[in-house]
């Protein structure tokens, strides 16, 4: 053993202290940045997401958070309009959704729906502004008829359908 330590007990104490300090440090960060308590019900939202949301939507009211294993979302009102902001489970903003009237969608979208989904009724339209920049805005349109219920993802720029999901 090294001559610096006068006894085995001193060395054991030093090792124990180092291990204890490491465990305390790991435990302090093991919650992934979660807040431990708040007075507004956001206790399960990651600190980074909550901070980003409060910065981006400082005047938001009626904020309600929903936490899932891989995502976090905030339903809120801003300037008398209802929105939903989507985030991953840690700190990445995915995008912003808003329910809109079908009358507000682009002509290209209206033409595609009229041509490809004649006989369907529009149940709802969600405008989604993605954060990834690949497709900055898309519409999710829920269409129903007597036989089926589908949700299409469609580009407002050219009316091109990106995805079709059948709802059971």
Q: Report which of 91, 60, 55 is spatially closest to residue 74, judged by C-alpha positions.
A: 60
Count helices and strands in the chain by DSSP H and E runs: 3, 8
Q: Would the pLDDT of 141 be above 70?
A: yes
Q: Would the pLDDT of 72 be above 90?
A: yes
Q: Report which of 114, 154, 157, 115 is spatially closest to residue 138, judged by C-alpha positions.
A: 154
Name the strands in the sheet holding 121-130, side by side, starting at the edge strand that comes first in the sequence. Answer: 61-67, 71-78, 81-88, 93-100, 121-130, 137-144, 149-154, 161-167
Question: What CATH class does 101-167 carry?
Answer: alpha beta
Q: What pLDDT score does 87 carry?
A: 95
Residue with tokens 């589908």: 150
For 62, 113, 138, 159, the CA distances from 154, given in Å and listed in that order, are 29, 9, 6, 6
Model confidence band, residue 34 (pLDDT cutoffs 50, 70, 90): very low
Tokens representing 64 are 């309600």
For 17-35, what is the mean pLDDT?
Answer: 37
- For the entire predicted model, the pTM comes to 0.71
Q: What pLDDT score does 4 carry?
A: 46
- pLDDT (tens digit, 9 = 90+) per residue, 4-19? 444 444 333 333 333 3
Tokens representing 48 are 């980074």
Q: Where are the domains of the chain?
A: 1-30, 31-98, 101-167
- pLDDT (tens digit, 9 = 90+) per residue, 35-49? 433 444 578 899 999
């Amino acid at each position: 053993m090294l001559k610096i330590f006068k006894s085995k007990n001193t060395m054991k104490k030093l090792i124990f202290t180092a291990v204890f300090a490491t465990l305390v440090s790991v435990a302090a960060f093991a919650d992934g940045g979660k807040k431990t308590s708040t007075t507004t019900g956001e206790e399960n939202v990651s600190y980074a997401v909550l901070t980003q949301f409060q910065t981006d939507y400082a005047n938001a009211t009626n904020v309600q958070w929903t936490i899932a294993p891989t995502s976090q979302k905030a339903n809120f009102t801003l300037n008398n309009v209802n929105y939903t902001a989507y985030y991953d489970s840690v700190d990445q903003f995915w995008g912003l959704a808003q329910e809109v009237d079908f009358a507000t969608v682009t002509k290209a979208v209206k033409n595609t729906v009229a041509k490809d989904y004649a006989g369907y009724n529009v149940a709802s339209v969600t405008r989604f502004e993605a954060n990834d920049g690949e497709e900055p805005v898309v519409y999710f349109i829920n269409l129903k008829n007597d036989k089926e219920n589908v949700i299409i993802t469609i580009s407002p720029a050219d009316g091109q359908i990106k995805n079709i999901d059948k709802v059971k």
